Amino acid sequence: MTEQPPPRPGDKIVGDIVLTDIRLRMELGRLRYGTYLRTHNGLDAAQDKYEELIDALLYTKQDMMERADLAAEVERLQAQVKALSKLVCVMRDAMPALTALVDRRDAIVDAWVEANIAMLNE
């Protein structure tokens, strides 16, 4: 584990979002089970909590692994962008020479056509 720097000011207040999520989750439970979660309901709260924590750990590790995969993909794509940028620069630098070659080719073709037309007219 690495030590993190102190937090900097952010955008949203997480607690407000969590409170909204809790209210929504309570309503989902009420709709699903016909009542809010209550004490002495015949369920083993410790077992439920333990299983939910295991699920949370699994989801957290999944998220960390997927983020690492995405970071690697971003690095790969950034390397491709860098290589393509270099290629674009090379092509841009070569454009005047290529244009001159095309112009020369066009002049040669035009001269050849004129010579052949002149030869046909003789």
Contact in structure between 26 and 36 (CB atoms under 8 Å): yes
What residue has token string 């407000």? 16
Q: How far apart are CA 49 and CA 55, in angstroms?
A: 10
pTM of the model: 0.54
pLDDT in tens, the chain (122 residues): 789 999 999 999 999 999 999 999 999 999 999 999 999 999 999 999 999 999 999 999 999 999 999 999 999 999 999 999 999 999 999 999 999 999 999 999 999 999 999 888 88
